[in-house]
Amino acid sequence: MISFDPGLIIWTTIIFTLLLVVLKKFAWKPILHAVDERNQLIKESLQEAEKARTEMSELTANNEKIMTQARADRDVLLKEARDMKNEIIAQAKEQANNEAEKLVSSAREQISNEKMKALTELKNQVADLSIEMAEKVLAAELKDAEKQKELVSKALRDNN
Amino acid sequence: MLNKVSLLTFLISLSFSLVVFSGENQSSEDKGFNPTPHILHHIADSYEWHLWGKVSIPLPVILYTEGHLDVFMSSKFHHGESKVTKDDRVYKIDHHHIVEENNKQVMNLSITKNVASMILSVLLLFFILIKTSRSYTHKKVAPKGLQAFLEPLILFVRDDIIKSNIGPKHEKYTMFLLTVFFFILINNLLGLTPGAANVTGNISVTFVLSLFTFIIITISANKGYWKHLVKPPGTPLPLLPIMIPIEIFGVFTKPFALMIRLFANITAGHIIIFSLISLIFVASNNGANAIAGWSVAPISVLFVLFIFLIEILVAFLQAYIFTLLSAVFIGLAVKEESH
């Protein structure tokens, strides 16, 4: 009952060969081809992603560098500007001081000149006034002989 | 080859006839239920597809007798009770085999239950695998459904069985080994469905499969493989008279082991399941003792369920082992000598 059956052996050979041929053409080749292709695609995509990531990180590093450079440049520029400003201010201040000093000194000179003028005038007027008054007093005093005498004597006394 | 086949047939039929005889002796002593004929009927091939009771699907019988081709449906035998006459040729079923009454030489090419089941399984494989391959035409889409189930299986067979055992020259053998794997797997699984044929548990089928492996090994074997046979490296000279016959014998034992392993594993699984079911009828003494039958039934069903789950595992395992060993043997035959 468990013996080799030639009919079954022939049928199995035919059916299996047919299966082999059909599956080879319509199943295994397309499936394996598609799978390999997809694996290749995945591999390439991963490589591309890796490359993009490297590029990205390079780019970021570059940006960072540029940023640092720019910041440094800005700092230098700012510093220069600040220095310049300070210098300008200092200069302006000095100039202003000088100018003010000059003004003040000239004003002072003028004032002293004016003062001198005014004093001279005043002296002259006082002198005139004194002379006038002295004339008047003398005139009044010298009306009387007695008094003249007394005055002379007194003056003599004083001089001694 | 023919001698080997007949010797094997003798050995196997001897072992099975022992089983049959022991069963028959027992049944003649006490007229209880004898499960042996039922089990053997189930695992054997037949000319009709028996479904249940008296219901069976007739299958075409194709006979080539001395230049005449006779084709008729197996229903004409009326389950082996009547003879079929074609001109001068009279056919009858004798012990499950068609013979000619006048002892004419008959070439039997009938579509038996196993052939029909095999055709069904092949059509199923065509449908499943071609459908799967179609789904690859929409490219750049993640696999889903049937494709998602089969793709890992296909890739496992190709990468872990074929590629890793054969090496760089695996391309040529991939198609054959993938086909063998899926052919065995689907027939193992279909064999587990109720009423199905026992295709991979049939020695003729496993013989053809291992013959394919044998032919492929022999055709693709390189110089190193043949040199190993006549001059096994590292063998002391006095041992050569023993080693050379062993090596040459090994060429045939490899595919022979493939054939027996698959056949025996699948057939044994079927026999175990049927024996466990038969326990119910043995206990009930063929219906005479209903209480005993009913009390055995739950245990029997539990055991059957357990064995059935193991058989599903075995279905995958045996397909894997057949493919793996074929790949290993092909790999041994084609590998470059490293020493």
Provide the shortest C-alpha distance from residue A77 to chain B (in Å).
55
Q: B138 and chain A: CB distance < 8 Å anywhere?
A: no
DSSP state of B335: P
Q: What angle do CA B105, B106, B109 make, to 5 degrees?
A: 155
Between residues B97 and B5, the one the model is more confident about? B97
The token pair at A120 is 């001279």
pLDDT digits (tens, 9 = 90+) for B63-90: 888 777 888 888 877 777 777 777 777 7
Give me the residue spans of the domains in chain A. 28-159
pLDDT in the model for residue B148? 86
> Which residues of chain A neighbour B267 with C-beta distances below 8 Å?
2
What is the mean pLDDT of the segment spanning B150-178? 89
Ramachandran area for residue B91 (φ above 0: left; ψ -120 to 50: alpha; else beta): beta
Residues 6+ apart with CB under 8 A from B61: B47, B70, B71, B72, B73, B74, B76, B77, B84, B91, B98, B110, B111
Rounded to an integer, the average pLDDT of A17-36 is 90
Q: Is 70 exceeded by the pLDDT of residue B296?
A: yes
Q: What is the pTM of this model?
A: 0.73
**Candidates A12, A19, A37; nearest CB to B204:** A12
Residue B155 with chain A: CB contacts under 8 Å: 35
Asked if residue B175 has pLDDT above 70, the reply is yes
Report the pLDDT averaged over residues A85-101: 93
> Is residue B24 pLDDT above 60, yes or no?
no
Give residue B337's pLDDT: 63
Write down the ipTM of this complex.
Answer: 0.83
The answer to whether B129 contacts A26, with C-beta atoms less than 8 Å apart, is yes
Mean pLDDT of A100-113: 92
pLDDT at A101: 92
Nearest to B195 by CA among B46, B18, B25, B20: B46
- End-to-end distance of chain A based on CA atoms, in angstroms? 189
Report the mean per-residue pLDDT for chain B.
82
* pLDDT recorded at residue B18: 42
Six-digit token pair at B194?
Answer: 């109720």
Partner residue opposite B133 with nearest CB, options A5, A6, A31: A31
User: If contacts are CB pairs under 8 Å, which of residues 14-33 in chain B contact chain A?
Assistant: 16, 20
Instruction: Give the model's pLDDT for residue B338.
Output: 59
The pLDDT, as a whole number, for residue B99 is: 78
B residues 272..301 contacting A (CB < 8 A): none
With contacts defined as CB-CB under 8 Å, which chain B residues touch A20? 175-176, 179
State which of A89-93, B91-95, B288-292 shows the largest mean pLDDT: A89-93
Neighbouring C-beta atoms of residue B281, cutoff 10 Å: 19
**Is 70 exceeded by the pLDDT of residue B49?**
yes
